[in-house]
Structure 1
Amino acid sequence: MASPTDTAGRARPRPRLSLLPLRERGYRLLVTGQGTSEFGNAFQLVALPLLVHSFGGGARQLSLVVAAFGAGRLVATPLGGVLADRWGAWRVMMAADLGRLAATAALAVVAATRADDFYLIGALACLVGLGAGLFLPAAWAITPRLLPPEQLQAGNSLSRTVTYAAGLAGPGAAGLAVAWLNPAVALTVDAATFAVSALTLLMIGRGTFVAPAKDIAERASVPRNFRALLRESSLLRSVLTVTVVANLTMGGMTRVALPSLATDDLAVGAIGFGGLLAAFTAGALVGGLVAAGLTGLRSRGRTALCSGLLMGVAVTLIPFAGLPGAMVMLCVAGAASTVTNVLIVTGVQTGVPPALLARVMAAITFCGLGVFPLSVIVVGAAINAFDTRIVFVATGASLLCAFGYALTRAELRTL
Structure 2
Amino acid sequence: MLRALRVRDFGLLWAARAVAGLGTSMLVVAIPAHVFAVTGSVLATGVTLAFEYLPSLLLGPFAGVLADRWDRRRLMVATDLVHVVAISMALLARTPETIWLVYVAVLGQGSAAVVFRPAAQAHIPAVVGTGPTLTSANALSAVTTGVVALGGPPLGGLLFAFHGIGAVVAASAAAGLLSAATIAMTSARPRDPGAAARDVLAGIGLGLRHVRHAAATRGLLATNSLYLLANAALTALLVPFGVTRLGGSVEVGYLLSALGLGFLVGAPLSRRLADRHSARTTVAAGQALVAAAFALLFNSTAPPVALVAAVLLGLPAVTVLVSVQTWVQRTTPEGLLGRVSSAFLTLEAAATMVGAFAGPAVSEVFGMPAALNAACVVALLSAPLTLWLVPRRPTREADGEIPAGGAAPARAP
Q: TM-score range by the shorter chain?
A: 0.7 to 0.9
Q: Say whether 1:264 aligns with 2:244.
A: yes
From 226, 230, 233, give the equivalent of 1:249.
230
Instruction: Provide the C-alpha distance between the structure 2 equivalents of 1:317 and 1:202, rounded to a whole number of angstroms.
Output: 46
Instruction: Provide the C-alpha distance between the structure 1 equivalents of 2:92 and 2:309, rounded to a whole number of angstroms.
Output: 41
Aligned twin of 2:174: 192
Aligned twin of 1:181: 163
Aligned twin of 1:167: 149
User: What are the equivalent positions in structure 2 for 1:4-403 lying under 5 Å apart?
Assistant: 18-107=1-90, 109-110=91-92, 117-150=98-131, 151-207=133-189, 225-255=206-236, 257-266=237-246, 268-294=247-273, 297-322=276-301, 323-403=303-383
1:192 deviates by 0.7
What amino acid sits opposite 1:188 in the alignment? Answer: A
Relative to structure 1, the CA distance from residue 175 to residue 72 in structure 2 (aligned partners, 3 Å threshold; closer, same or farther) is: same
SS in 1 for 2:229: coil
What amino acid sits opposite 1:237 in the alignment? Answer: R
Please say which of residues 299-308 and 237-246 is displaced more in the overlay: 299-308
Please say which of residues 26-35 and 363-372 is displaced more in the overlay: 363-372
SS in 2 for 1:90: helix
Instruction: Provide the C-alpha distance between the structure 2 equivalents of 1:284 and 1:346, rounded to a whole number of angstroms.
Output: 17
Please say which of residues 349-358 and 46-55 is displaced more in the overlay: 46-55
Relative to structure 1, the CA distance from residue 286 to residue 58 in structure 2 (aligned partners, 3 Å threshold; closer, same or farther) is: farther
What amino acid sits opposite 1:80 in the alignment? Answer: A
Instruction: Provide the C-alpha distance between the structure 2 equivalents of 1:389 and 1:318, rounded to a whole number of angstroms.
Output: 12
1:129 deviates by 1.1
- How many correspondences in the alignment? 383
Instruction: Provide the C-alpha distance between the structure 2 equivalents of 1:413 and 1:392, rounded to a whole number of angstroms.
Output: 35
Q: Deviations over 1:10-46 (max 9, x none)?
A: xxxxxxxx43211111100000001111122232112
Instruction: Provide the C-alpha distance between the structure 2 equivalents of 1:114 and 1:127, rounded to a whole number of angstroms.
Output: 20
Q: Deviations over 1:203-225 (max 9, x none)?
A: 1142389x9xx9xxxxxxxx981
SS in 2 for 1:247: helix
Instruction: Provide the C-alpha distance between the structure 2 equivalents of 1:45 and 1:232, rounded to a whole number of angstroms.
Output: 38
Relative to structure 1, the CA distance from residue 116 to residue 42 in structure 2 (aligned partners, 3 Å threshold; closer, same or farther) is: farther
Instruction: Provide the C-alpha distance between the structure 1 equivalents of 2:269 and 2:257, rounded to a whole number of angstroms.
Output: 18
- Structure 2: gaps (5+ residues): 196-203, 395-412
SS in 2 for 1:149: coil
What amino acid sits opposite 1:86 in the alignment? Answer: R
Q: Deviations over 1:307-357 (max 9, x none)?
A: 221101111222211233223222222221111110121112111111111
Instruction: Provide the C-alpha distance between the structure 2 equivalents of 1:181 and 1:228, rounded to a whole number of angstroms.
Output: 50
What amino acid sits opposite 1:283 in the alignment? Answer: G
Q: Deviations over 1:241-287 (max 9, x none)?
A: 102221233222212x2222123333x23222333333323322332
Q: Do the aligned residues in 2 keep the contact of 1:302 with 1:413 (CA within 8 Å)? A: no
What fraction of aligned residue pairs are identical, expressed as a percent?
A: 25
Aligned twin of 2:200: none
Aligned twin of 2:402: none
Instruction: Provide the C-alpha distance between the structure 1 equivalents of 2:122 and 2:350, rounded to a whole number of angstroms.
Output: 20
Q: Do the aligned residues in 2 keep the contact of 1:288 with 1:338 (CA within 8 Å)? A: yes
Aligned twin of 2:199: none
Instruction: Provide the C-alpha distance between the structure 1 equivalents of 2:32 and 2:167, rounded to a whole number of angstroms.
Output: 14
What amino acid sits opposite 1:318 in the alignment? Answer: L
Q: Do the aligned residues in 2 keep the contact of 1:21 with 1:147 (CA within 8 Å)? A: yes
Q: Do the aligned residues in 2 keep the contact of 1:263 with 1:273 (CA within 8 Å)? A: yes
Instruction: Provide the C-alpha distance between the structure 2 equivalents of 1:300 and 1:380, rounded to a whole number of angstroms.
Output: 32
Instruction: Provide the C-alpha distance between the structure 2 equivalents of 1:258 and 1:158, rounded to a whole number of angstroms.
Output: 25
- Structure 1: gaps (5+ residues): 1-17, 215-222
Aligned CA RMSD, in angstroms, stands at: 2.5
What amino acid sits opposite 1:226 in the alignment? Answer: G
Relative to structure 1, the CA distance from residue 56 to residue 412 in structure 2 (aligned partners, 3 Å threshold; closer, same or farther) is: farther
Instruction: Provide the C-alpha distance between the structure 1 equivalents of 2:225 and 2:205, rounded to a whole number of angstroms.
Output: 25
Q: Do the aligned residues in 1 keep the contact of 2:283 with 2:386 (CA within 8 Å)? A: no
Q: Deviations over 1:65-98 (max 9, x none)?
A: 1111211232222111111111132233222211
TM-score (norm: length of structure 1): 0.85
SS in 2 for 1:311: helix
Instruction: Provide the C-alpha distance between the structure 2 equivalents of 1:370 and 1:176, rounded to a whole number of angstroms.
Output: 30
SS in 2 for 1:207: coil
What amino acid sits opposite 1:346 in the alignment? Answer: T
Instruction: Provide the C-alpha distance between the structure 1 equivalents of 2:142 and 2:283, rounded to a whole number of angstroms.
Output: 15
Instruction: Provide the C-alpha distance between the structure 2 equivalents of 1:137 and 1:160, rounded to a whole number of angstroms.
Output: 15
Aligned twin of 1:7: none
1:383 deviates by 0.7
Q: Do the aligned residues in 2 keep the contact of 1:101 with 1:191 (CA within 8 Å)? A: yes
Instruction: Provide the C-alpha distance between the structure 1 equivalents of 2:184 and 2:130, rounded to a whole number of angstroms.
Output: 24
Please say which of residues 186-195 and 390-399 is displaced more in the overlay: 390-399
1:164 deviates by 2.1
1:240 deviates by 1.5
